[in-house]
Structure 1
Amino acid sequence: MSSAQGNETLKQPTRRTWIKWLGTTPLAMLVGCSGKPSAAFSGELLQPDLSVGHRIRDGWKLPQPTGAPSKHAVVIVGGGIAGLSAAWELQRQGIQDVVILEMESTAGGTSRSGKWEASQFPWAAHYVPVPMSFNRDLLELFQEMNIVTDVSADGQVTVAEEHLCREPEERVFHQGRWLEGLYPASIQEIHSTDRQQLEQFQLQMNQWAQRRDEQGRRAFAIPMQLGTDSDPEVIQLDQISMAQWMTDQGYDSEALRWLVDYGCRDDYGLTLEQTSAWAGVFYFASRLSGQANSIAEMESQPVMTWPQGNGKIVQHLSQRFAKQIRTEHAVTKITKQPNGQSMRVTAYDKARDRMVELIADDVVFAAPQFLASRLIDQWQQAGRDATTFQYGGWVVANLLLKARPSESKEDGLAALMAWDNVICHSDSLGYVNASHQSGADHGPTVITWYHPLLKDDPKLSRQTLLQMTWDDWAAIVLADLSRAHPEIETLIQRMDIMRWGHAMIQPRVGFMFGKQRQQAAESLGRIHFAHSDLSGIALMEEAFARGVAAARKCGAS
């Protein structure tokens, strides 16, 4: 990753106008006249390393490769979950001659993690629901990691207790107090109309979870390619927004609409109005077994989490493929060899300031589709188009706290910091507590704060994202957290802030069953694609499944 400022130019809106757009707190409370918070702590402003791409864009002439190309069975472009999973599956097939080219100084993509003395912590992805029994490949990985201990004949998955999120799992700050769970009202205070709509929504999600197509496939499954692609009612959901669907169903409860909006922002970085209704229903229905006969029996899949978030998985796979991973290698071109039987991959080795070439029988392109058109020589000739692929920007801040914030005893059990701590009616998603799984409920910790950029034009969001400084973002983080923890500034020892310009694919209206997404997963000769954006949903399970699927195509071209 890099701490360099982005060099994209932006004339309007200004940085201060952008801070107003964030909408969580009045501008005067965010930054003073100097534009800096009064914080007595420091930190870094980080971002994925874009230096090579920007140099090429600005006219940099690449040096000529030196030395003969190395030859390999498979070259994997991208060392995130999809690329590492492809290597995992290739090894299971007995294919050992594999090279993973990763642009960053460390593998993992948005599942990477960091470490301070108080705890490890995630830089983005931070949990995985317990896979259902039909997700066999992922269960095998988790068995290999000693996370899943058994899968019974009737499909019951057993997870080692230390990997399951311990209580309290989640809480929400609403109207000046913390409440257990994520619904912004206590059980005793839910209005009858709100209660009725919440129960109806839960029953409806369970019905979607029970639904099967003519082939016996679930309407909504994780990974999504195991779900139906032929049920007309399911497909039709992609033609309207989740907001429209809820209105059509008569759901006007403010609390319920906030809860569903939170889910869309949490997994997709989109609002209710921006999210495909298919994705909105998927968020809830795909995590339900569909076996419940009543609301009392209805429960989403348990959550597995670790101090470093999904960095736990990255660490396991990175250690396994340490000799195959080549970090700081930015791929610049992928071309077909004249014989048509192999591929040539050209990459810039940043550490050694040289160009290298690799010849591969197959290439797994485990990078986002927006890069494919720039790197793959025959992309446009093949009639490929990725213009409907839109990626949301995120800001993630990790805060080292010397102690936990004080809590009101009036909040009861919700006064204890949970794993997931959400601030109602904030544009942020709140924060997760990295040391939660350690069982230490007092003393130093690291909290990870998440903020999706929700504007309709992702490009504009990215441009402004790169223009804002550490001071700007530190002020926004402080203002947001101070709503729930007035003394938070006095507890912070360090705040590092990551700007993710293309953090996740966005399942906007019409994208999930559009031609471009469906075509994107098809191999292009000996190039096989593997990334969560092929699923339209940026989940670890989707990236893993796409990596495994691409690996299985290698050697069969």
Structure 2
Amino acid sequence: MELTRRELIAAFLGSAVASACKREPARAPIPGAVVDRAVEVGHKLRGGPLPRAQTVEPVDVLVVGAGVAGLSAAWRLMGAGVKDVRMVELEAEAGGTSRSGRNAVSAFPWGAHYLPAPLEDKGPVVRLLREMGAVTGVDAEGRPTFEETLLIQEPEERHYYRGHWYEGLYLRVGATPEDLAELERFDTRMNAFAAAKDAKGRKAFAVPTAHSSDDAEWTALDALSMADWLTREGFRSSRLKWLVDYACRDDYGATSEHISAWAGIWYFAARQDGHGERSEGFLSWPEGNGRLVHQLRSALPPRVLERDVLVHTVEPGEHGCRVDALDARTGQPRSFQARQVVLACPRFLAAHVVAPWRTARPGWMEAFSYAPWVVANLTLSTPPESRGFPLAWDNVFQESKSLGYVVATHQQLRQYERGPTVLTWYLPMSGGDVKAERQKSLSATYEDWEALVMADMRPAHPGITQQVQRLEVMRWGHAMVRPTPGFMWGAARKAAQESLGRSLHFAHTDLGGLALFEEANWFGVKAAERVLAELGQPSSSWL
């Protein structure tokens, strides 16, 4: 049954947004398109047997997948001097959900749009930032300092509520003394979690997650949801619950009732020093984490990466792995014989690709769940008008299921000018049934997305319809792994990290349980160092 416009908006964005919508005068459609290949890409893996090439191409190391994890693996291998490295990627562009785009106005993100400034001067992320000239030095406490132009300019955050914009993410206007007392108590608890260490000196909540303490005192939090933890601890304020829900939707693609309490607390505690300070804040670029992708890519010779290659079978053997693929443009089969393979794709794809798993699917596979997302980029002739606190980098709608939008041109200080700009709008499909959410996102047409994005934007920016010059939509069917209760410290995630034999190694952000750049980078480097060990070329770890 076809939904009415109001029903469509309520289904995707919530009843509050639907109620705020007023009928628009007739207008010309906004030029644009759905630009992803979400339906066709990868679904070829679900068909029957695919052909194998008669000629096999030998290679020392084959990296399958050019998202952040795969690029990080190749970056580490190149750093160790491995010469014979090949990387194949199904998409036309590298970067996965950290990809970016560009038009005549600005570069813009198609997914991840910032990197929290690292607290410590060690690890592969800081190494990468040093390579790109983002680190300017080390302060008196041994923490890295960063190029000032990369730190988010003020104003950083604002949110929209019933006709006005307010500073920050927490709605202080109209808050009762009880609301504010709960916020203070919550912040105190998060600071305590941030400062907590175990007997071995490990932080209870660390970046990356692999550096976190595995003491039961902390990991027991993984057994319940973040919503249940709030209830157990006596937090009742609707404003605080909204803030926590926003955090879970922002980083994990689901509401607090579907997210592990350990992961929910990690969001607030892992990236700060125990005093509520998040180091120097966030690093960002107009193209978001696409800049980090470019840096990783620039470390690789052009010959290393091949795009439009669909790998359909990885078969471990006595002397390495046979890898069968299709040229996605011509349909011609390709085959490789690799001494070592890094399979840098999510588990749900690995289940179709790793030959032994097709007949004996690992039991841990069912523990992995992925949230779909939709990202839209709007090119505007001028910055949007609004009432209240001025345009910020991150602009959140209090009563919408979307996360609002970021301003791609913010770091260029264009929001203070009258020139064109690009706004990047985010919608996590955060319902509990991920399959239903995925189908809903993929079934919506461009006309549906135009109606949804504008319905979300128009109450806060009444004149925006006349300012939008183009709208482009990207659907991510399996955008990020969900750290559901029991997942972060359960047996499944640990088992999934193990190599298969001595030649097949795995790397992806889902192995860390959190869909974050730091996790993908860490697991990519870890897989590469396993490869180096098997090749007899061990070196000092970057981890």
TM-score (norm 1): 0.90
Q: CA deviation at 1:393?
A: 0.5
Q: 1:21 aligns with which of 11, 29, 53?
A: 11
AA aligned to 2:344 is A
Equivalent residue number for residue 195 of structure 1: 180
1:62 is aligned to 2:44: no
Query: Distance between the aligned counterparts of 2:183 and 2:329, measured in 1?
Result: 55
Equivalent residue number for residue 3 of structure 1: none
AA aligned to 1:42 is P
- Post-superposition Cα deviations, 1:329-368, rounded to whole Å, max 9, x if no partner, equal 010100123xx12111111112232111111111111100
Equivalent residue number for residue 407 of structure 2: 433
Counterparts of 1:328-407 in structure 2 under 5 Å? 328-337=308-317, 340-379=318-357, 381=360, 383=362, 385-407=364-386
Q: CA deviation at 1:152?
A: 4.8
Equivalent residue number for residue 522 of structure 2: 545
| CA 135–424 in structure 1, closer or farther in 2 if over 3 Å, else same | farther
Q: 2:40 aligns with which of 37, 51, 55?
A: 51
Counterparts of 1:299-310 in structure 2 under 5 Å? 299=278, 301-310=280-289
Aligned-pair identity (%): 43
User: Matched residue of 1:84: which SS?
Assistant: helix
Query: Distance between the aligned counterparts of 1:544 and 1:55, measured in 2?
Result: 28
- For the aligned residue pairs, the C-alpha RMSD in angstroms reads 2.3
Any conservation in 1 of the 2:254–2:482 contact (CA below 8 Å)?
yes
Q: CA deviation at 1:382?
A: 8.1
Q: CA deviation at 1:384?
A: 5.3
Query: Distance between the aligned counterparts of 2:256 and 2:457, measured in 1?
Result: 24
Any conservation in 2 of the 1:163–1:304 contact (CA below 8 Å)?
yes
| CA 29–299 in structure 1, closer or farther in 2 if over 3 Å, else same | closer
Q: CA deviation at 1:240?
A: 0.9
User: Matched residue of 1:44: which SS?
Assistant: strand
Query: Distance between the aligned counterparts of 1:79 and 1:531, measured in 2?
Result: 10
| CA 228–39 in structure 1, closer or farther in 2 if over 3 Å, else same | farther
1:237 is aligned to 2:224: no
Q: CA deviation at 1:501?
A: 0.5
Q: CA deviation at 1:299?
A: 4.3
Q: CA deviation at 1:423?
A: 0.8
Equivalent residue number for residue 285 of structure 1: 269
Tell which deviates more after alignment, 508-517 or 38-47.
Answer: 38-47
Q: 1:468 aligns with which of 419, 434, 444?
A: 444
Any conservation in 2 of the 1:362–1:555 contact (CA below 8 Å)?
no
Q: CA deviation at 1:24?
A: 4.7
Query: Distance between the aligned counterparts of 1:79 and 1:519, measured in 2?
Result: 23
1:137 is aligned to 2:103: no
Equivalent residue number for residue 422 of structure 1: 396
Moved over 4 A (4+): 11-19, 24-33, 36-39, 380-384
Query: Distance between the aligned counterparts of 2:250 and 2:213, measured in 1?
Result: 24
1:528 is aligned to 2:502: no
Q: 1:208 aligns with which of 193, 205, 211?
A: 193
Equivalent residue number for residue 8 of structure 1: none
AA aligned to 1:446 is V
| CA 72–112 in structure 1, closer or farther in 2 if over 3 Å, else same | same
1:179 is aligned to 2:166: yes
Equivalent residue number for residue 234 of structure 2: 250
- Post-superposition Cα deviations, 1:224-259, rounded to whole Å, max 9, x if no partner, equal 101112x11211111111111111111111111111
Equivalent residue number for residue 264 of structure 1: 248
Query: Distance between the aligned counterparts of 2:33 and 2:103, measured in 1?
Result: 14
TM-score (norm 2): 0.92
Any conservation in 2 of the 1:49–1:103 contact (CA below 8 Å)?
no
Q: CA deviation at 1:483?
A: 1.8
AA aligned to 2:11 is W
Q: 1:75 aligns with which of 62, 66, 88?
A: 62
AA aligned to 2:341 is V
Any conservation in 2 of the 1:205–1:285 contact (CA below 8 Å)?
yes
| CA 25–489 in structure 1, closer or farther in 2 if over 3 Å, else same | farther
Query: Distance between the aligned counterparts of 1:374 and 1:509, measured in 2?
Result: 26
Equivalent residue number for residue 538 of structure 2: none
1:170 is aligned to 2:143: no
AA aligned to 2:33 is E
Query: Distance between the aligned counterparts of 1:193 and 1:21, measured in 2?
Result: 33
| CA 282–507 in structure 1, closer or farther in 2 if over 3 Å, else same | same
Any conservation in 2 of the 1:39–1:489 contact (CA below 8 Å)?
no
| CA 96–30 in structure 1, closer or farther in 2 if over 3 Å, else same | farther
Any conservation in 1 of the 2:30–2:450 contact (CA below 8 Å)?
no
